[in-house]
Structure 1
Amino acid sequence: MAPVKLGLVGIGKIARDQHLPSLSRSADFDLIAAASRNAGVDGIANFSSSGEMLAAMPEIAAVSLCMPPQARHQVAAEALAMGKHVMLEKPPGATLSEVEQLAGLAASNGVSLFATWHSRHAPGVEPARDWLKGRRIRKVTVTWKEDVRHWHPGQDWIFEPGGLGVFDPGINALSIVTRILPFPIWLTGAELTFPENRQAPIAADLAFAGPSGEAVEAVFDFRQTGLQTWDIVVETDGGTLKLSMGGAKLFVDGEERGLGPEAEYGGLYARFAELIAAGQSEVDLSPLRHVADAFLLGRRAVTEPFVFDPPAAP
């Protein structure tokens, strides 16, 4: 089949770091246009808005949305209503209800909607899922700590309502946990730490339960400098599994297992192409639902103000 003509909306850090390199290697998609208020992509048509892009280039069959979640719903709804297939960066939206509305809109217009979770395509995730099948899981410990200044430099939107704060990376851990565990979990308690000058948390401690008394504990923190920590440890009756580096490495009882290369975003675009070819959508909201539950159930703690560029020491 001929490559699907695609437009990319939102040319920021994640688009440049991941989407553009993956699309350049994809045989499934032909990137022909981009829409961004402040940036462009060399060698293709560039527009200041998605509406302008789609009006000028009706040959675009699919769009991939990389803008912050607060602004994504309207753009996605307009594209779906025009009969375009839509791929959503994670988190898929600012609320559960708006993404559910998009899923209905995709179905009524006969197009594909793909709510992506890129960490599920890390090379260790499916092997971990397979290894856990048939084993009794006793405890899961998640430690997800990174430096917001490195990964989101100057991006104040991430601490605005709908930006999720530390749950922007933490939801990656939840997407892996909900993929590898063979049973559902639900939140039983949470403490969310907010900088006194921000609207979204900079750290979170979460506790979940499983149907047979399994305990899942998660610690998220956006203030870690130096070596970053993205680990999931699963204790079972048949040994201990550890996913490290966000799923790029897999250990069983301390012994590293061989894995394929990292290709998360290549995997996303390959899956998007499969969904389009099959006339299907994929909209799993379980990671976002856990985040919503944390905001519902979590106790609030306040910490010192956060600024991206602190004043230089005298």
Structure 2
Amino acid sequence: MDTLLFTAVLLALAFDFVNGFHDTANAVATSLATGALNPRTAILLAVAMNFLGALTFTGVAGTVAGGVINPAGPAGDLNIIMAALMAATVWNLLTWFFGLPGSSSHALIGALAGAACLAAGPQGISGRGFGIILQALFFSPPLAFAAGFTVSGVLRLSRPGYRTSRSTRRLLALQRLAAAGQAFAHGTNDAQKTMGVITLALVTAGRQATFDVPLWVRLASALALALGTSLGGWRIIKTVGTGITRLTPRTGFAADLASVLVILGATACRLPVSTTHVVSSSITGVGAGGGRGLVRWATVSRIVLAWLLTLPASAALGALFYRLLAGPV
């Protein structure tokens, strides 16, 4: 493995690691907020299920590998991939520092597009594939909001006696299962993006001819994500778990279930989505289902701002890092 390819793989695994602790909130924030799980158990559960989910599917990896950069454009330029990974990692660290649930997916896709566009112009981007990915990224949050609103409403109407201690214990037990499903779903989608980028690097470097994900890439990506998850992104956990709305066992379970349905549905369709924005939107949906006054809209506004800024900011960072790596024109 030559030096540039080795560096690209290391940068991809570093991004995956940062993605793990940045997105721990996706799996554990609601269960911690409601007391369904204690912090240690929640993190261990997230680590195990993230790892398992990451090893289960590869469809999203293929979409990322072949759907952003036009193979007929800037082929053979590993600087694009390295620049994108550096830019996405920097953006993740910035949003983590400020406690914002920014999207690792938006950051990576935007950075790849920005670096490829600077390297080869607009034709450096695969128009059709990039368009499909953008649609999945932008439509999944409102879909998650609607799912959270609907699931919470169904539970509220079907279980009028949910405030009893027996019903609360049952909901907490269900939420533990949903939290496990949430962590599994996160692994099935988020780790795939790193697998896709490493596979793209292998194809770009001429090490393989197709976008099939090698076993060692799957194992390395799953392990990096799980190790990052084990650290826990406590700043973002606080924002997601308590900053959007006050969660109860019922609304916490509803939010987790809605998120699992949306993320696994996207994975089944081989579409990359932002698990961070799906979870945040599901929580906002269950809060809105209980009345407008139950949602802290100031926090939601900050999350939406990060959502809107991530793609253009990461694209600009990707272009900047590409220029630094490739040198002046």
Q: Same fold per TM (> 0.5)? A: no
Higher RCO (Cα < 8 Å, 6 or more apart): 2
Higher helix residue share: 2
Shorter-normalised TM range:
under 0.3
Higher strand residue share: 1
TM-score scaled by length of structure 2: 0.23
TM-score scaled by length of structure 1: 0.24
